[in-house]
Every structure is written in C-alpha cells, then in structure tokens.
Structure 1
Amino acid sequence: MTEAPSGPADGSVDSSAEGSVESSALLSQLAHETAGERIEDIDISKEMEGSFLEYAYSVIYSRALPDARDGLKPVQRRILFMMQDMGLRPEKGHVKSARVVGEVMGKLHPHGDSSIYDALVRLAQGFAMRLPLVDGHGNFGSLDDGPAASRYTEARLAGAALAMTESLDEDVVDFVPNYDNQIMQPDVLPSAVPNLLVNGASGIAVGMATNLAPHNLIEVVDGAKHLLHNPDATVDELMEFIPGPDLPGGGIIVGLDGVKDAYRSGRGAFRTRAKVSVEQLSPRRTGLVVTELPHLVGPERVIEKIKQGVDAKKLSGISDVADLTDRKNGMRLVITLKTGFSPEAVLEQLYRYTPLEDSFSINSVALVNGQPQTLGLREMLRVFIDHRILVIKRRSEYRLRKRRERMHLVEGLLIAILDIDEVIQLIRTSDDAEGARSRLMQVFDLSELQAEYILELRLRRLTKFSRVELESERDELKREIEALLEILGSDEKLRAVVSNEMDQAAEAFGTPRRTVLTGAVIRPTRSAASSAALQVADTPCTVLLSATGRALRLDRDPEALESPRGTSRATKHGAVMSTVDGTVRGELGAVLSDGTLHRFTPVDLPLVPGASVAFSAGVKLLDYIGVTDKKLRVVGLVPLDTETPIGLFTLQGTVKRVVLTELPARPEFEVISLKAGDQLLSAFPAPDGSEFAVVASDAQLLRFPAASVRPQGRPAGGMAGMKLGAEARVVFATAVPEGAEARVVTVADSSITLPGTDVATAKVTDWAEIPAKGRATGGVRAQRFLKWEDQIACAWVGTGEPRALAADGAARKLPAELGKRDGSGQPIDGAAAFVGQAP
C-alpha cells in the first residue's frame, strides 16, 4: 500500500509548502524572462482557426490550383524555370532527374523531393499530358506502374516548354523573391501555348478542387484566335473550333451535353469509351481488339475487372483476354470470344461492367488575379488572350527601349568615326578620363553615355568597314523601332502579333486529334443475362457527310431526308456532300481520295433526332474510321449491300463503275488503281439508267450515259471519262437519276484574285439544256467567262433547290432566274467554295 503524504493532522494548508510553490513559479517566470522568452495564454480555438486559414491559403495559392494564365501550379512553373536556367534545352543532353529536383528544392521550392519529382514525372508523361513539357529518358512510369527513382531517370526540356518560357529575359512578366529572398523567380510564365486547356490540370485544395480535361492545341488556338478577333463570340461559336476535349490516349467521348455544360458553366461530366474493333483472330475465333483506352485507364486494370466480372457471372461469352501491347504496335488488348456469342452484345457488357467505359468530371477552377474562380471555355480563353496581349506589349516596350538605347550609342559612334582624328587628338591632350569625357560632350555635342562608349572604343572599330557596319545597324534599328512603334500604337497590329505567334505554336507543336467525339449512344437497361437485350437496336438510319468531313447519323424518316443517295444538301450549319442509307450496326463504305474504301459501322456516330442537322456536333469521319493522314479526304459514302454499281471519277477525268460484291474481309481495300499524280474526286451510286454529269474547271460540262461505262473489277484503273483541256481538272461529278428534273449550278472566279477581295459570278441552268455527248469527249461550255475569270471554282448538278456556301459556311445568294447554257454568270455576294442542295 502506498503511504499517504505527510502533513498537518487538522487538514490545514502547510504555509511552508504554499510558499515553496509560489517561489517555484516566480523562479520559473524569472528564468523565462531572463532567457528572453515570454509565455502568453491564448484561446486554442482562435489559434486553430488562424492556423487552418493559413494552411488553406498556402494549399490553394501555392500548391494545388493552377494559374489560369499559364496553366501551371507553382511547383511545375518552378521546375520549368529552373530547367531553363540550367540550360537543359532540347538540343542539349539529358541530366539526372535527381539533379533537377535538387536545384528546384534548394533554390525555389522548399518542400520534399518526392512532390517535386512527382510533378516532374507528370510533365513528361505522354499519357497524362496532351503536350508534354519535359523530355524524359528512362522509366517515367505507365498507366499501371509508377516511375523509377529520380537517380535512375534523366530529363531535359521539351520543345513546347521553350514556348512557355520564351522571352523571360525581356521583362514580359513580373518576378518575385523565392522563399528566402535570395533568388528571383517568375510570378507566371509568358506561355505562348494555352497550357491550361491543352494539358488540363487536377488538384485538391482545401474546400475546393480542380479537374480540367486536355484539349487539342490546334483547335484551342483556332478558338482563341476567333475570340481574339471576335470578343463577343458565344460558347456555341467557340465550339465550332473546339468541339470537345482531346485526351492523350485517344478513345471515344460519348455524348457532348456534359462537355457543353462544362464549357458554359465550368462544371460538367462526360463519358469516355475505349476504341474497340471486331477482328477475326482465327478461322473459328472472333475477338474484340482494344487499341485505345479511356483517359488514365491502364490495361492491367481492365484485365482485372474482366476477370472479376467473369468470375462473378456478370460477363459472359469471354474465353480469354491478353495484353499484346508493345512499342511497335502500341496498345493492343485482345479479348477472345466464345463461339456463338455476338461481339456487339459482349462489348456492351464490357462497357457496363469494366473501365472500357469511364466518366470524367470537369471542374474548371483556376487562379485569376490571385483568386480561385470557376471558368467556362470563353473565360479561360479570355484570360489567356489578355495575358498574351500583355506579354507581347511588355516585350515590345522592352525591345523598343533597348533598340533606342543602342541607336543612341551607334549614332555617337558614327559621329566619332567621322572626325576620328580630332577625337583622338582631344583624348590625347586631356589630363584624365573625366576631362576627356567632358571635352567630348562639349565639342561633339554628345551625351555622357555616348562619350563613355567612345572612350571604351577599340582601335579595330576605326576601319571603313566598321563604319559601313554601323550605318547598316543604324538603318536596321530604325526599321525595328518603327515596327515596334506600329505594334504599340495599334491595337489591331498588337492582336495580329498575338494571333501569328499562336499560329506558330500550333504549327510547331500541334498534332491531329486523337479522341473521337460522338453523340449519345442508346444504353441497354435490362440485365446482362440476355446478350441480345444488350445490343443497340439495328434500326434503319441515314449517314450524312458534310463538306468539311464531319458525319452524323439520322433515324430513317422518309420525310426527314428526301434527297436521293449521293446528292448534296446544304444546311445552316454546313453542307451535305454525300448521304447513304443503312442500319445502325450494318457496314457502310467511306471512299477516300487515294482510291481506298474503308468499312465502318455507324453505331457510334452522333445521333441527330428528326431532320435537325447540326454538324458542330458531328465527328470527323477520318478520325472515326482511324485514318491519320490528314492529306486524305472522304469523297463519298457508299452502301456495301447492293448490286447497284458505284461510280468513281478522278481529277484527271478517269471514270469507273464497280459493283461492290464479294468484298475482301479486310477493313480497307482498293476500289480503283490511280495514275501517278491523280486523285479520286467523288464516289456515288451510278445505276444503268442514270447519266454522268461532269464539270471541269475550264467551264466544260459533259453529259453521257452511265451504261456506257462497263463495270470493272476493284483492281482496275477505270477508263477515259472526259477529255480535259490544258491545265483543266474535274471539279464536280455525279450521276443524275433517269428522268430527273435537275439543275446545273456553276460558280466562276479568278485564280489570281487576292484573298479578301474575292468576287465571283454564278449561273443556274436547266439540266435539259445540256446536250448528251459520248464518253471521253470534251462536252459543251456551261458558262462563258468574263474578262477577269479563268476557272470554275465549284459546281453542282442535282435536283431540288441549290445553295452556295463560302469557305466559312456563309450562304451565297444564287441567281433566281435560269440562264442560258453558254451564257455568263451574274455577280454574287462573295466567293463560293461549295454548292449543294438546300434542305
């Protein structure tokens, strides 16, 4: 048992003990005061509140959120600035990542090395950044695995990073002290690249977060230029240039409603799907081949989810899954199917239960003038444009100041060289440098800077050649000063410089779009037990192709689309170049200008209800069918389940008819062998009873029976269709149905007219006035050229009401009255690039 402490028996306080406690307190207080310390009582709740606010401020402004101007977080900005300061340019060798991390941590970023290295790695990852800013060498990780340690990897700046840091030494941005006030660092980078939209961003701060999707640089620059020249542009207008995100890994974005919401309000969500094709793996095995995955989804994660789904009986029809990805062939995830299962039905199950379909939530929060704001598309572009205008203005002012200073010195040197003997004599007779400077200023009317510069002049600069050099330099400086004054004195010229430099960045670093944008796809609602219930209904549909290469899908409605297949229709959002009827899951053919036909299924094309045609929501058909060569174009859509011959016409006048039966199993194949230098112009159904209508650039029009061209096999090169004059080419060709009441429209202009001053004349003629001729003849004149005209810019032959469109989609009013076959045209309100049929 513990013994109780001793004390007075009556329970009174021991005065000696109390005095001892007071003495200890006084001694402790005296000791603290003697040591220079002071103890204060504080309210812990107020202390916690203040500390939390300081922490939140630090996280929001110095760690988690990007600046809307350059799209970078502080650590990313410091990495790029320090790598530039270290001279790690693209043409130099790589250095150890650990060295970069050490420099950044020691001079600019007083945090752990792991956070700096993680930021460096992300800047180099091509699957995370649409436009990587760091060129990494070594293992920088993958979608399923992390990077190697910083001591094993090497890094240097990528080319795009130079555009981010360009002109930092020309006073284009403000500099602020680092954490210990010993080094100056940029508050923001000049950023010639709209990095916030191009590379996106993600971060979690205190009470807020940000998540922005990557975009295509070329599209963002086009949108920024449009807003630069049209400050009142709406989000819908900007979406004509920036239709949606462009993810680094490609894939398919399904439905654009969430994207539109994000562009308007800064918040929205969209679904992404893997790009999957059905392939015959062996004579008795069919498989689904995944070549592109949703953003930041790795193949190992997909394989794991597939195995879990098969084990849980959620997925059926799958016998094996293998990752055959390699550096040569890229992503290739092969899912082998069991015999008797529909590939489409299995794919719908995979979309439902695996990461082959994923969602992306956009929350566009960024710092604007030091304050976190939620930004829409227009606001993000506006902040970037304003930043670039300020950068170019400050750079021009800096260069103007430097050139004026140099001009001042050059003019002084020229004065001295003209009277060099007197200058030398004056300097030799002076007592000291101060006296020589004063006498030079008095005798030659020089400034102090000019006199000092002359005193430091080397004797080798006194030759006649040096004088010529100085005079040339003076003249060049005058021209540069005048140019800079024009830029600073004209808002229009300043904006032109901004626009030109954005174009240069897009040309240098832009790449074709990787992600396909589609409309919403019908989702199954029944359980996964029934494979047939998971299929999108294979209903009749019509696919429309615009003159700009975008495609849409319409439900089959006889009243919604009265135009026959192969004819053209124009709408307020574009012009239809070709149409074809089919089914949602059936195969159709897209014929390209290189003479190849590509199979495709319209199931993932944007679905437009009724007869509402808005090509801004369409998808570029070349991207949809996986063609990366942007020099090619789709010249027509054709069915693959008909005995009707397909007509083909080339620029050099070759014609061919081919029946697309007994086609190879390949996804693409040749339908005509083209001569060297020739290109396919158009592809369209051409039954025996129809007539070919061919218009050449020299205004000749040929009409001859389609039956005069016998069908040939796919490898054949066709036959002579129209005899062309020197330098002439075919500008339009189609097949007019038998007995159709068609119209001929021709638009003439000059091939040497300066851009912006284009004028043109147009003529509408009755098809019945065109006499029929034989194949391989020159035809008849369709329009008489005026003195300044030398070519037919565009033409059209078809039924219904014609409509002409300019290159930017603006409508051109055609003459209301019919003209004579060989008469001249009537002036219209500007040049036209396409003629089609009005809806």
Structure 2
Amino acid sequence: MARRSTKTPPPDDSYEEKILDIDVVDEMQGSFLEYAYSVIYSRALPDARDGLKPVHRRIVYQMNEMGLRPERGYVKCARVVGEVMGKLHPHGDSSIYDALVRMAQPFSMRVPLVDGHGNFGSLGNDDPPAAMRYTECRMAEATSLMTESIDEDTVDFAPNYDGQEQEPVALPAAFPNLLVNGASGIAVGMATNMPPHNLREVVAAARHLIRHPNADLDALMKHVPGPDLPTGGRIVGLSGVRDAYEKGRGTFKIRATVTVEDVTARRKGLVVTELPFTVGPEKVVGKIKDLVGSKKLQGIADVKDLTDREHGLRLVIEIKNGFVPEAVLEQLYKLTPMEESFGINNVALVDGQPLTLGLKELLEVYLDHRFNVVRRRSEFRRGKRRDRLHLVEGLLTALVDIDEVIRLIRSSENSAQAKQRLMERFSLSDIQTQYILDTPLRRLTKYDRIELEAEQDRLNAEIEELTRILDSDAELRKLVSTELAAVAKKFGNDRRTLLLESADTPAAVPLQVADDPCRVLLSSTGLLARTADNEPLASGAKRVKHDVIVSAVPATARGEIGVVTSLGRLLRLNVVDLPQLPAAMPVPNLAGGAPLAEFVSLEDDEQVVCLTTLDESSPGLALGTEQGVVKRVVPDYPSNKEELEVITLKEGDRIVGAVELRTGEEDLVFISDDAQLLRYPAAQVRPQGRPAGGMAGIKLTEGAKVIFFTAVDPAADAVVFTVAGSRGTLDDSVQTTAKLTPFDQYPRKGRATGGVRCQRFLKGEDCLALAWAGPLPAKAAQKNGTAVDLPEPDPRRDGSGVSLPKTVSVVAGPV
C-alpha cells in the first residue's frame, strides 16, 4: 500500500500578522462593567413595578402563554422549564427550575405564584425538591392578577435574546408583588433583601397613598406596621423596621414562636411551632445537639422533631429538671438559629436604574406603574369599542335599505365597484363598507336591528365611561383603588408574624432553679413532691386525699436526699427532679406529686420506709426490723455511690421503720403485733457503721413480730394509735377496733427487754393490724388516701379499742 504524501502548504500571503496592543486595565474595566450590567439588569435585581426578576417574569409569562390557568390541569415542570429556556431565558435549566420551585413554596412566598403538585422541598431546604421530571405545576389563582390584561397593550414588550420572540419588560401586576412577596439577590457591587408583607396591609397603605399622595411614613406604617413572614415567628426590634421603611435599609431580629408546656409527667419543655424565615427544623435540631454535645448549652435533656403535615411544625425541646425553661430559651435564642437577624436592603430597578427605596417610594413606583397600566388598558378598550361601534353604525345604516345594498352589490362588476357604489350611496367609510362586503349575504340579511341598537347603546356607554376615566386623574386613581380593594378582599389573609418592640423574655432569668431551702414529702399513697420553701405545712381543717404525709425531710432545691427501703438500701434522689407544690395550699396535700416508682426502682417485696437527709453532721438514722433488731447508723454517705447498704439483715428479716434522729435524745419505740410497746432512750443504742447488722432492740414472744418502729421526742405531745384484728384477715373488709392513748402513759424501759401491753384484745382479736406513735396532730387514711377520723383519746394504757366506721391503713403526724 502506497504511503500518502504530505506536504506543508505554502504560506498564504493574503494573511498578514496583526498584533493589537490593548491596555489590560481598560479591557478588564470594560469587560467587568459589561458583566456587572448583565447581572444587575438581567438576573439579580427585581423590577420595582412588578417585583419580579427576569427569570420569574419569564416563567409567569410563559405559563400564561401556555394556558396553564388555575382551572386547567397540571403539566410537568420540565415542560415549563423547556419552554422558558427555549424561548425567553438564555441561561441554564437549573436556575429556571429553582426560581419556579421558590414561587411554589408557601413558606417562601407570602402569596405563592405557582401551584405546585409534588415535592417542592421543605422549610430551610431540609428536604430538597424533586427533579423537574417528577413535579407538576400550573399558575396559582393569584398569578392571574400578575398577567391580567397583558394582551391589552398594558405593558411594553421587547425582543428576546435571539430576537425571535417578544417578552414583556414588566407584568401588569394587579397587586404590589414586590412588597407582598419580597425578594433577595446578589448582584455585582450591590444586593437586595426584602422581606414579605401582608397583602391586606400593603393594599391598605397603597389605597391610603392614592387618597393622600402627601402622606408621611407614620401614616403609612399605621397600615403596614412591619413585615409579615410566611413562616410566622416574632419580629423583635421595630426601630430597624422603621429605618428600612424610611431609608431603605434596616435590621430586625426574627424569633421562633415558643411555648412552655408539660411535655412529660415530670418535665417541662419548649414547644416550637414557628421558626424564623428560611430556617428549617433540621438545622435547629442539629445545632442544638452539637451545642449540647460540646457542653456549650446546658439544661436540655432531649430534642425531637414532631413535624408532620397534619399538625405542621412542632419541635419539642425537653428541659432537664432544675433548669428554668425561660432561661434555656434565652440561650437557644443566642446560640441557635431560633433567632436570626434579617437585614433589609430595598434595592430594585426603577426606570432601569438600581435604587434603594423606602416604603413610600416602593408604593409610589408601583402605583405609577399601575396607573399607567390601567390608563393604557382603558385606552385600548376604548379603541376596541370605538372600532366596533363604527362597524355597528355601518351595519345599522345598511339595514335601513338592505334591499338596495344587495342590489348594488349584485349589479356591480367587481368588489371594488361595489365598495365604491356603497360608500357613495350610504356615506359609509372604507372600513364599514369592507366589513359589509366581507359579511356573507345570509348573515347580513339576518342581523336584528334591535340587537344592533342595544349593542350601539352599550358601546356608547362604555366608551363614555372609559373616556371619563381617561380624562379624569381622580377617576383613574379611584378605579385603581377599587381594584386593589377587590384583590385584598379575595386573596388577603390575617397577619402571621407578631411584632414586638423588644424581647418579651427577661434576659436576667437564672439558667438553673435557685438552690433554695425546701422540704421533700412522701404521702401514704406513694406520691413524692417538694415544697416551695422549708416552712412547715399548715394543718388544713378540711381533710382531702393524699394529705397523710408519712415522711418529710428538709432539703434544698438542687440538693439530694436518701430513700431508705425495707431491704436495707439507701437510694440517692435528686430533689430538683421532684414536682414542686404550690406555695400556698388551703388544704395541704400531695395530689400534685409524682409516683415514687418514677424516681426509684424497687424489688417486688421492697417498700420505702422513710426519707432521710444525707447530712453527715446529724446523729444518723435509727432502724428497727421485723425481728426486733435496732441500729443507729453512723452518717457516712459517700457521694460517689448512688446506692448504699445501711444494715446487714438476717435472712427473712426486713426493716419496718426508720427515722433520722434530730438530736440523739429521742426515745426509740417498738410495737409488736402482740400489742407490746417498748420505749427507751436512743442513747442506749451505740452507733454502728453501715455494714453492721445492729443489736437486739426488743425481746419478742414466740411467734410475735415488730410491726412499727420510730423515734419520738419525749417532750412532745405525742400519742400511740393501735388497731386490733385477727391473724390472716388483716384487710380492709375486716371490722377492727382502734385505740388512741397519750404517749406519756407508757413507761421507759431498757433496750432488749419486753414491752408493756398497749391494747387489750376483744373477742375475735388476737393481734395488732396497725400501730403508730408520734406527735399530734395525727391524721389517718385508707389505702386509697381517703381521710378517716381518729377516735377520742383513751387514757388507759392497756384498754380495749372502739369500733371505727372505716378501716384505717395508715397514720402520720404533722409535717
């Protein structure tokens, strides 16, 4: 195979080497100015007349041209994007689709201009919109107001980017879209950022300005007090809003709408229902979790996003016990997007020039545009009606002698001759004559003179009305005001954003609950609570449920207490976790408390016997067991242990009573089920360490067991209360006898001795079902907390009891 011969072509003398020297500074300046001009005028800034950037205007106009009216079906967004890009917009499809999506988002636009069907994203772009091939759209109902009468020569048109299509330079805009929906964009050397407003308020201000062209800013702000954001929230700092309305620039803060609620039985929380404009819930949740993880934010136990379509936005921030929700909220405002600053920069194009506009200037530019639109519309309609009237008048003239008209037409050699003869015979114009000739003969003979005369009258009336509007500036302004009022009535809605002069949450609220003194109470029904102070509860004259307090200890709001159980365990408990009772209760009770099981975990056969402080300077705990063992525990409570053993129990034994000694001079009291009571000074019991097993406290008879143990101040006005029954039948259905005796009737004896009888059994009674000793006043109740009246005191130490109308299950003294 032969090799192809390759030769270098000879130089072409027709091309001469030309090198142009261009100053790089001049070239950069020129190119940059062209680029800046393109961005400012063709992409980034809205027109002050219709409030739209070019891409938004092209989308709305092309949808109108495609007939995508609100009453029509949806079409694929990809089709709309393709039409806009192919005919009007010389940029990429992604920018067109992004603009279309924003116009369909009710959380971005105060009055959406696109009715979207499908996933158009979520607040804060947490959930991005679906691709354009999946979503559908059509014009929103309010969008028809933007293009209304666009085919009546109301706005100017200009060639598109390739000169093959025409596009409007601004839309007619029957409402002030720039103020209502706002705008944002970054140009070259300038930017715009305008918040949305309420349609009703903006229309009211515009109508006021129509009636009072010299109105000042204060008068306009009575109608437009501030922005109204699609996402609601609270605007804080109206001075910045006024600056923006006056000078075109200003700053204000947007806060989330938050309420303090009980989110669980024991915890309060912050419930967020509205977030600042453009802020999504995922952004807030993520920021809170980051701050909590880095320990920069305190007091938050959990945060949940419960947002759904049915209930809308709902973030639940659970507050730890001991922290003030209002103070935590202030921290959230400072550290998270729950408070955002919005910088207003009202830059828009006016006659092709970027200007910074205040509220009045924005309204004036819009109203001037609207006056021009309505004027041009009126001129167009008047012209159309005059043209039609001219034709109707020609028809009426021809109908006067229709036979002559037909004869002249038939006898003419051609249409030109017929036209000339009709014009001469009936004094018709060229247009009238041509219309008659173009009308088929069968239609011409069927015209109803009465209908034509009615149409003539109607056209004359409409022309007269349009002329009145065009000849009178007052009538023109009145018409624009009336049309604006109709728009506000149909599409307006209530304000969503609350306006505040300043923050409504005090900044000086402490983050945590103050470590104030209080008292922790345990009711006979197993409810725990803390009081608002450490003052003793007053005894109510009226008895109610949950008013029998079986244990009470002094504490502080952020301190700890101990819970002593029947199995010899001491469990630590944070006081701040407990619900707080009202500061003043007419009838003291723990109805507002929380069940003990919410705070401590107990075994099946384990009960709480008392509450105790963890004060290591106290005389310590005194314990009494079912088998008659007594122990004074040395107050040693290591802070690094959540659970301690306060006694080593023998097999089958359990603690029946425990009490924290106040002075160490109290008397210890045992009461056994065979009605024996033993009383002796606490000093007779040597304090022991926590692991010790105690010592003999009372000598029991065979088969007997201790049912009650406590410590009583010998100087107190105390009593002993006992209830007799029979073994194996000690339940609420058994009738029992009870006895109340002064405590001083029982003598002191030595430790580990037998006691003295405290109640004589009647026939059918062989044991004590219940026993209690303590200071007056005493309260008794049934298992469910229902109050029971105690019998009158019996001075006999070993007398028998009296019948009670109700069975007593628990007794307690003052708190």
**TM-score where L is the length of structure 1:** 0.59
Structure 1 32/120 Cα, relative in aligned 2: closer, same or farther at 3 Å? farther
Q: 2:69 is matched with which residue?
A: 89
**In structure 2, what is the Cα distance between the partners aligned to 1:123 and 1:196?**
13
Superposed, 1:198-209 pairs within 5 Å as 198-209=180-191
Offset from partner CA, 1:179-219 (integer Å, 9 cap, x none): 11111110110001101100000000000000000000000
Offset from partner CA, 1:488-542 (integer Å, 9 cap, x none): 111111001100111111112111111011111277777x984469xxxxxxxxx
Structure 1 166/89 Cα, relative in aligned 2: closer, same or farther at 3 Å? same
**In structure 1, what is the Cα distance between the partners aligned to 2:507 and 2:495?**
32
**In structure 1, what is the Cα distance between the partners aligned to 2:15 and 2:186?**
43
Residue 277 of structure 1 deviates from its aligned partner by 1.0
Q: 1:455 is matched with which residue?
A: 437
**In structure 2, what is the Cα distance between the partners aligned to 1:458 and 1:476?**
25
Superposed, 1:585-596 pairs within 5 Å as none
CA contact 2:255–2:340 (8 Å) conserved in 1: yes
**In structure 2, what is the Cα distance between the partners aligned to 1:460 and 1:250?**
65
Residue 39 of structure 1 deviates from its aligned partner by 5.2
Which residue type is aligned with residue 134 of structure 2?
Y
| Counterpart check, 1:426 vs 2:416 | no
Residue 418 of structure 1 deviates from its aligned partner by 1.6
CA contact 2:327–2:510 (8 Å) conserved in 1: no
Q: 1:110 is matched with which residue?
A: 90
Superposed, 1:159-308 pairs within 5 Å as 159-308=141-290
Superposed, 1:37-48 pairs within 5 Å as 40-48=20-28
Q: Secondary structure at the match of 1:335?
A: strand
Q: Secondary structure at the match of 2:448?
A: helix
CA contact 2:349–2:355 (8 Å) conserved in 1: yes
Superposed, 1:513-528 pairs within 5 Å as 513-521=495-503
Q: 2:588 is matched with which residue?
A: none
Q: 2:306 aligns with which of 308, 321, 324?
A: 324
Q: 2:349 is matched with which residue?
A: 367
Offset from partner CA, 1:731-768 (integer Å, 9 cap, x none): xxxxxxxxxxxxxxxxxxxxxxxxxxxxxxxxxxxxxx
**In structure 2, what is the Cα distance between the partners aligned to 1:119 and 1:32?**
49
**In structure 2, what is the Cα distance between the partners aligned to 1:61 and 1:179?**
14
| Counterpart check, 1:80 vs 2:63 | no
**In structure 2, what is the Cα distance between the partners aligned to 1:244 and 1:27?**
77
Residue 343 of structure 1 deviates from its aligned partner by 1.6
Offset from partner CA, 1:575-611 (integer Å, 9 cap, x none): xxxxxxxxxxxxxxxxxxxxxxxxxxxxxxxxxxxxx
Structure 1 522/474 Cα, relative in aligned 2: closer, same or farther at 3 Å? closer
Offset from partner CA, 1:142-190 (integer Å, 9 cap, x none): 1212211111111111111110011111000111001111111101100
**In structure 2, what is the Cα distance between the partners aligned to 1:422 and 1:307?**
94
**In structure 1, what is the Cα distance between the partners aligned to 2:491 and 2:14?**
68
CA contact 2:345–2:356 (8 Å) conserved in 1: yes
CA contact 1:365–1:372 (8 Å) conserved in 2: yes
CA RMSD of aligned residues (A): 2.3
Q: Secondary structure at the match of 1:287?
A: strand
| Counterpart check, 1:138 vs 2:118 | yes
Residue 287 of structure 1 deviates from its aligned partner by 1.5
Q: Secondary structure at the match of 2:137?
A: strand
**In structure 1, what is the Cα distance between the partners aligned to 2:222 and 2:185?**
29
Residue 315 of structure 1 deviates from its aligned partner by 1.8
Q: Secondary structure at the match of 1:320?
A: strand
Select between 334-343 and 271-280 the one with higher mean Cα deviation. 334-343
Task: Report the number of matched residues.
Answer: 509
Q: 1:30 is matched with which residue?
A: 13
Superposed, 1:714-729 pairs within 5 Å as none
**In structure 2, what is the Cα distance between the partners aligned to 1:524 and 1:339?**
20
Q: Secondary structure at the match of 2:258?
A: strand
Gaps of 5+ in 2: 1-7, 515-582, 585-591, 593-815
**In structure 2, what is the Cα distance between the partners aligned to 1:479 and 1:434?**
35
Which residue type is aligned with residue 173 of structure 2?
S
| Counterpart check, 1:474 vs 2:456 | yes
Q: 2:370 aligns with which of 376, 388, 413?
A: 388
Select between 135-144 and 264-273 the one with higher mean Cα deviation. 135-144
Superposed, 1:398-413 pairs within 5 Å as 398-413=380-395
**In structure 2, what is the Cα distance between the partners aligned to 1:347 and 1:75?**
41
Which residue type is aligned with residue 189 of structure 1?
L
**In structure 1, what is the Cα distance between the partners aligned to 2:75 and 2:210?**
40
Q: 1:591 is matched with which residue?
A: none
Q: 1:100 is matched with which residue?
A: 80
**In structure 2, what is the Cα distance between the partners aligned to 1:525 and 1:476?**
69
Instruction: Decide which structure has the larger Cα Rg and report it.
Output: 2
CA contact 1:166–1:191 (8 Å) conserved in 2: yes
Residue 263 of structure 1 deviates from its aligned partner by 0.4
Q: Secondary structure at the match of 1:30?
A: coil
**In structure 2, what is the Cα distance between the partners aligned to 1:282 and 1:519?**
33
Which residue type is aligned with residue 115 of structure 1?
S
Select between 368-377 and 38-47 the one with higher mean Cα deviation. 38-47
Q: 2:38 aligns with which of 43, 58, 77?
A: 58
**In structure 1, what is the Cα distance between the partners aligned to 2:344 and 2:250?**
5
CA contact 1:345–1:532 (8 Å) conserved in 2: no
Q: Secondary structure at the match of 1:268?
A: strand
**In structure 2, what is the Cα distance between the partners aligned to 1:117 and 1:396?**
36
Q: 1:345 is matched with which residue?
A: 327
Structure 1 313/29 Cα, relative in aligned 2: closer, same or farther at 3 Å? farther
State the percentage of identical aligned residues: 64
CA contact 1:224–1:385 (8 Å) conserved in 2: yes
Offset from partner CA, 1:396-447 (integer Å, 9 cap, x none): 1111111101000000001111210000000000000011001000000000
